[in-house]
Chain A
């Protein structure tokens, strides 16, 4: 039976995982009835598998899904631009103008007006009879890129008080916060961070989202013009500028319309009697956490937080922390917001506890810089310069916060 045992042993793994053909299965089954050793070996294997089956994991955090789907929308964008726009899509300004120009009456009037103007100019010698062909790229180069809030983030000049508002994150920092990357190399995310922040929520129809995503990247009008077929050349230049102007004007409205509380990080409206200017401003980059389902404690807490109801928010965040179903990625978010609420209500000692939890247990939390900034401010209010200094020393390792941190460190070093 020695040979049989060796052969059986070689097949036990396949037998256990049902990756065995019928002939071998019969052979093993027959052998196991006669061989206690092989039966025991299989039993041991099955026991480990039974125990391993009890190793359950929580589902992936919602924030991960949002970041990935946003990234996909951005990365697949060029291919989408080449496809015809669905009929249900809201027409862009350019399309509206094109459609208007194609209407017979308007077209007739337009052609007549253009002809009259051209005749006049030719007659006055101000226009050559043959129009030069302008490369479209040159048109775009001369077209000022629309500056939406998300598309341009210049270095902010130092403010009177270094702690009254958070600095705007650099693209690199935005990428870091978007990707939730903690020490992992993720250059692609850094490249895309800026665009992703301006992208509407993922559950919005893709076609409807396209304009804002374009605008936030490099100028939606310019991008669309590049994608225009050659026969649209007649309506290129002027509409490009108009569309750019419209998009610039529309940018704040788009941001207002975006229902993305983004798991917090928008500072709550000030509450009465609250300590002002402690919480980072809404411009602190939000992590790409998806809006949690409205029935979760975290979502409820965020809603209360955004209403400025800090007591209710704290209660909800505490509930979220006690809920085993809360994804681990949301735990630091809850602690951070409890800390913000406590700080807002002037309870810096309580806030410090939660800031410390985030800083010590969630070292890779995407909003670490904001936590450091806010925690340092709390330590300042509590009169702990050494701890404030320690926090600022780490804060200055974040490029977007260095100036601010250094300014405060200089204040600390200044002779009194």
Chain B
């Protein structure tokens, strides 16, 4: 797609006047970030794809109500975040089994299994296990911490903008982030050495 220097907000102006090309540009910019945000929030790629579609549908339906007082990214992440929280609420259960919870087969708790499958000489295998452990660990964060962590760590949204998205004070955002980092550190303790060995 041809490079376009227009800002997100300028593209929204164009979309408001029915410019399909502008929508495609905005879609190119946000399709992967929004999809990944939703995957990390709800853990199901298929549902995340549906929700991404919902988010873009809302963008189109409510384009006229975007008044350019806020940044587009704030607006769209607020829509995505609400969609994710709705989905989590509808799901009505935790995405992953609790780390402390024993398995249905009566095996060791997940946290012990993760620990037992700690770093091995084969770095690829460790990396694979780590990815799984990360998925579990992120999924175990309470939604209010998870959204802050995912938005800041993976989406690159600043703390101030996260505060705008969530409509909470900046201090609250940072506090949730600290809790999230602490919880992840606990969960991923076994991988400390691996982390140190990373370039």
Spell out A's residues near B (CB within 8 Å).
Answer: 13-14, 17, 19, 44-45, 47-52, 54-61, 63-65, 67-69, 71-73, 75-76, 78-80, 82-83, 179-184, 186, 188-189, 206, 327-329, 362, 364-365
Contacts and interface: CB of A to CB of B under 8 A. Distances in A.
A31 to B, nearest CB: 18
Contact of B18 (A14, A60, A76): A76
B135 A48 contact: no
A83 B184 contact: no
A76 B49 contact: no
Interface in B138-171: 138, 149, 152-154, 158-160
Given A52-B134, A61-B49, A71-B56, 20 more contacts: A17-B152, A47-B196, A48-B195, A50-B198, A51-B134, A51-B191, A52-B153, A54-B130, A60-B32, A63-B49, A68-B27, A71-B57, A72-B20, A72-B23, A180-B46, A180-B53, A186-B50, A362-B46, A364-B50, A365-B46
Interface string B109-149: 00000000000000000010011001100100000000001
Interface residues on B, range: 35 or more
Contacts, number: 148
Contacts of A56: 131
Nearest to B52: A64
B49 A64 contact: yes
A201 to B, nearest CB: 14
B19 interface: yes
Contacts of B56: 68, 71-72
B52 A60 contact: yes
B137 to A, nearest CB: 9
Nearest to B83: A184
9 contacts: A44-B185, A47-B185, A50-B195, A57-B36, A65-B27, A68-B27, A72-B23, A79-B17, A364-B47
A184 B153 CA distance: 27
Contacts of B131: 54-56
Residue from A14, A48, A60, A64 having most chain B Cβ neighbours under 10 A? A48
A73 B57 CA distance: 11
B50 A48 contact: no
A180 B50 contact: yes
A268 B191 CA distance: 50
B80 interface: no
